[in-house]
């Protein structure tokens, strides 16, 4: 019975190895990680490994046609910054308020 068990296990390893080598196979983790820079937590898309920190509020500004919008939960560097709006403190959260003016009350990229 042992030869069959070892053969079955070997086939599973072989199949999994081939699947990982196929073009288009994806890894479980995205490219990049959050890195600590002073008291900020910044996404570095060219780095790998475990995150060094977590931002107070995950998200970034992205271009959407002619508009610049805050995309909560998205990782990456800001692509723009709207002329109007600011980050406001809401309890322990830092939230984007697009219809408000004035200086930011918090930094979403501050490390938790």
In a domain, 37, yes or no: yes
Structural contact between residues 25 and 19, judged by C-beta atoms closer than 8 angstroms = yes
Sign of CA dihedral 35, 40, 45, 51: positive
Work out how many domains the chain is built from and give that number.
Answer: 1
In a domain, 53, yes or no: yes
More confident residue, 15 or 4: 4
Model pLDDT for residues 9-46, shown as the tens digit of each residue? 444 443 344 334 434 433 334 589 999 999 999 999 89
Model pLDDT for residues 79-102, shown as the tens digit of each residue? 999 999 999 999 888 999 999 999
94 strand-pairing partners: 89
Structural domain including 84 reads 33-97
Taking the mean position of all CA atoms in its chain, how far away is CA 99?
26
pLDDT computed for residue 76 by the predictor: 87
Element (H, E) at 15: helix 2-21
In a domain, 103, yes or no: no
Model pLDDT for residues 37-53, shown as the tens digit of each residue? 999 999 998 999 999 99
pLDDT computed for residue 97 by the predictor: 94
């Amino acid at each position: 019975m042992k030869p069959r068990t070892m053969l079955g296990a070997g086939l599973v390893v072989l199949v999994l190895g081939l699947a990982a080598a196929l073009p288009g196979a994806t890894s479980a983790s995205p490219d990049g990680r959050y890195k600590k820079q002073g008291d900020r937590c910044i996404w570095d898309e060219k780095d790998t490994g475990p995150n060094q920190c977590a931002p107070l509020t995950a998200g970034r500004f992205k271009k959407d046609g002619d508009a610049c919008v805050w995309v909560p939960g998205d990782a990456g560097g800001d692509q723009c910054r709207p002329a109007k709006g600011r980050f406001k403190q809401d309890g322990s959260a830092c939230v984007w308020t697009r219809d408000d003016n004035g200086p930011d009350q918090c930094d979403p990229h501050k490390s938790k």
